[in-house]
Amino acid sequence: MSTQDGAPQLERSGLRFAACFDDIDAAPMHLHECLRRHLKTLEPRSYAVDLVEAVAAADAVELDHRRVFIEPALAQCDRLDDRINRLHRRHRRFDQLMQAIGLFALLLLLLLGLIPL
């Protein structure tokens, strides 16, 4: 994982996936949230994870982004699409849980406001 201001050089050897995120400060935090259990070293930040898992984690980040480059063989991988879809579903379930907790807390505050002490 690395960040840069300009477009990546696509002929660079070893390049497998590149994405452009609108919020470059939040993107690494979201990626780390998904891969935190695979953290190998903190400085420089590196993860011990297979390529499909790393690309799926980056592509499933719920921030505005677009793929700039993906290795053709990786783009055809069904496992990658399945993993991205599972991560999106997990994000949606977490968001729904947080919405439910917030609604419950709001209702509890309203009920407590109605009960005279």
For the chain, domain boundaries: 17-114
More confident residue, 14 or 66: 66
Mean pLDDT of 33-41: 90
Mean pLDDT of 29-47: 89
Which H or E run includes 85? Answer: helix 78-114
Confidence check: pLDDT of 31 > 80: yes
Q: What is the pLDDT of residue 37?
A: 92
Q: What is the pLDDT of residue 56?
A: 94
Supply φ then ψ for residue 22, to 5 degrees: -70, -35
Confidence check: pLDDT of 24 > 90: no
Q: What is the pLDDT of residue 55?
A: 92
